[in-house]
Amino acid sequence: MKHGFFVTGTDTGVGKTLISSALVHYFAQSGLRAAGMKPVAAGCERVGAHLLSEDVASLRDAGNVDIPLEVINPYAFEPPLAPHIAAEAEGVRIELTIIHEAFKKAADTVDILVVEGVGGFRVPLNDQEDTADLACRLGLPIILVVGLRLGCLNHALLTAESIVARGLKLAGWVANCIDPEMEMQQENLAALGKRISAPCLGVVSYQSVADFNTVAMAFDTQEIRNLVCA
């Protein structure tokens, strides 16, 4: 693996999967061997002998490297609950060591790997560790997805502050409009740009039907290129 990124968000439901899939698609279209990984997924459906989430399916569709499902998604749960609660309900403990081993297997097969977190940056994974601990364990630069809606300024700035406080690199952020009626969107974007010490990688307009191919075209091409040249 030449490059890897960990995608987190200001909250759940802000479009992490859409942005992660778009990034994987963008890199694959650029001629790189690219894949996505979602170590923990809840709200999965049973497909044959496997549990599969829509998020994981999207990441697989976006990439151009075939990696076993159990590698790109080592923990899958049916209940649409917080991951540590879903795991406890099934008598499972989410172990960062297992995720890290799967990550290394995936990384060995690609040029670039996009790892999508679950929920926000501090969502618990077990009784002691959360997604911030996972991000630290993997040691990847972070891409923050900001869900543009009322309250996003506080959520974005607190998350950016938490990322830096953990000693991680905030490589960039993507603004994703999840509220089509949000007022003063440009003013909010300007406020974020002044306060987040990382480049904006793109601004994604509201989409009633998500399409990672379309979203990939909203990225700032130069800033994305800078990511893989850093």
SS (H, E, C) the chain: CCEEEEEEECCCCCCHHHHHHHHHHHHHHCCCCEEEECCEECCCEEECCEEECHHHHHHHHHCCCCCCHHHHCCEECCCCCCHHHHHHHCCCCCCHHHHHHHHHHHHCCCCEEEEECCCCCCCECCCCCEHHHHHHHHCCCEEEEEEECCCHHHHHHHHHHHHHHCCCCEEEEEEEECCCCCCCHHHHHHHHHHHCCCCEEEEECCCCCCCHHHHHCCECHHHHHHHHHC
Q: Region of 139 please: left (phi>0), alpha (psi -120 to 50) or beta.
A: left
Q: Region of 214 please: left (phi>0), alpha (psi -120 to 50) or beta.
A: alpha
Active site residue 38: yes
**Which of 2, 38, 169, 194 is labelled catalytic?**
38
Residues classed as catalytic? 38
